[in-house]
Amino acid sequence: MNSFTVTVNGQPREVQGARPHTTLLNWLRDGGLTGCKEGCAEGECGACAVLVSRPDGRGGTRLESVNACLVMLPAMNGQEVITAEGIGSPGHLHPVQHEMAVRGGSQCGYCTPGFVVSMAAEYYRPERTSRPERKDGEHHAPNGFDIHALSGNLCRCTGYRPIQDAAHALGTPPEDDTLGTLRT
């Protein structure tokens, strides 16, 4: 496979001459998308989380959080990837970014992009948004957010309470939300 295309944050990118063992993480960072961090290089910390658009089996898509340090770049041929930089912008924060900011969910900021990406995947989970009133013991908030969606992300500074508070404060994505309406 000499060349292929990966769509990143809505922009197709031609990949040429990539080595078979180049990780998605290294390729993204080499391309200037440094929100994705290498924390452990073993898929255990979540600092490298990105969203990948996958078919949902009903003609639409679902967004899955994956650890970019574990994914080889050639496996992303034809796929759509959304990094922390593609979720919102400084002038127009995504609801997940806004809640993390106002609830104090970031201190040093190293883990924040990974948490934001993982939280965004859960924010758009169809089962959560179609039944936001679901509450299942300690794992689901009244807004339907399953806190286990963040279990692959580690934080050493902030602690988890403000991050959990941000997750539990999220509403339902608006109808015109472009990330929530991606099509494969």
Q: What does each C-alpha distance from 63 to 51, 75, 82, 163, 169 come to in angstroms?
A: 6, 17, 9, 20, 20
Query: Among the residues of the chain, which ranges form H helices?
Result: 24-30, 95-102, 112-123, 126-130, 161-168
pTM of the model: 0.89
pLDDT per residue rounded down to tens, the chain (184 residues) = 579 999 999 999 999 998 999 999 999 999 999 999 999 999 899 999 999 998 888 888 889 999 999 999 999 999 999 999 999 988 999 999 999 999 999 988 899 999 999 999 999 988 776 555 555 555 677 888 998 999 999 998 878 999 999 999 999 998 888 786 654 3
The pLDDT value given to residue 74 = 95
Residue 143's pLDDT is 85
Measure the CA angle with vertex 151, ends 142 and 100; round to 5°: 60
pLDDT of residue 33: 97
Domains annotated for the chain, with CATH where assigned, are 3-173 (3.10.20.30)
Q: Write down the pLDDT at residue 57.
A: 83
Q: How far apart are CA 11 and CA 14, in angstroms?
A: 10
Tell me the β-bridge partners of 153: none
176: which 2 tokens?
């015109």
In the numeric block, the tokens 């002038």 are attached to 91
